[in-house]
Amino acid sequence: MNTPAIKSYDFHCHIDLYPSPTEIIIECEKRAAFVLAVTTTPEAWPQNKRWMQDKKFVRPALGFHPGLASNKKHEVSLFDSYIKETSYVGEVGLDGSKELNSSWGDQSYIFNHILQTCQREGGKILSIHSRKAAAHVIDALKNNSDAGIFILHWFSGSKKDLERAIDIGCWFSIGPKMAMSKKGTELISLMPKDRILTETDAPFASFNNRDVMPWDVSFVEKKLADIWNISLSETHAIFSKNFTNLINKLK
Nearer to Mn ion among residue 184 and residue 238 (C-beta)? 184
Nearer to Mn ion among residue 193 and residue 211 (C-beta)? 211
Our finding on whether 199 is near Mn ion (CB under 5 A) is no
Least separation in angstroms between CB 35 and Mn ion: 13
Query: Cα 151 to chain center, whole Å?
Result: 6
Among the listed residues 201, 216, 227, 239, the single contact to Mn ion using CB under 5 A: 201
Q: Which region, judged by CB under 5 A, interacts with Mn ion, from 118-126, 136-144, 194-202, 226-234? A: 194-202
Q: Roughly how many angstroms between the first and final C-alpha of the chain, as a whole number? A: 11
Least separation in angstroms between CB 128 and Mn ion: 10
Least separation in angstroms between CB 154 and Mn ion: 7
Give the closest residue to 199 by CA, choosing from 75, 73, 70, 35: 35
Nearer to Mn ion among residue 10 and residue 91 (C-beta)? 91
Least separation in angstroms between CB 212 and Mn ion: 12
Task: Give the Cα separation of 200 and 15 in Å (integer).
Answer: 11
Nearer to Mn ion among residue 35 and residue 238 (C-beta)? 35
Least separation in angstroms between CB 135 and Mn ion: 20
Judged by CB under 5 A, how many residues of this single chain contact Mn ion?
2
Q: What DSSP line would sit under 5-73, residue for residue?
A: G--EEEEEE-GGGSS-HHHHHHHHHHHTEEEEE--SSGGGHHHHHHHHTT-SSEEE-B---GGGTTTTG
Least separation in angstroms between CB 129 and Mn ion: 6
Q: CB-based burial of residue 80 (10 Å sphere; 0-12 exposed, 13-18 middle, 19+ buried)?
A: middle
CB 174 within 8 A of CB 199: yes
Give the closest residue to 171 by CA, choosing from 201, 185, 150, 186: 150
Nearer to Mn ion among residue 10 and residue 106 (C-beta)? 10
Task: Give the Cα separation of 101 and 106 in Å (integer).
Answer: 10
Q: Which region, judged by CB under 5 A, interacts with Mn ion, from 137-145, 159-167, 197-205, 216-224? A: 197-205
Least separation in angstroms between CB 107 and Mn ion: 15
Which residues ranging from 52 to 91 are in contact with Mn ion (CB under 5 A)?
Answer: 91
Task: Give the Cα separation of 135 and 172 in Å (integer).
Answer: 15
Binding site for Mn ion (CB under 5 A): 91, 201
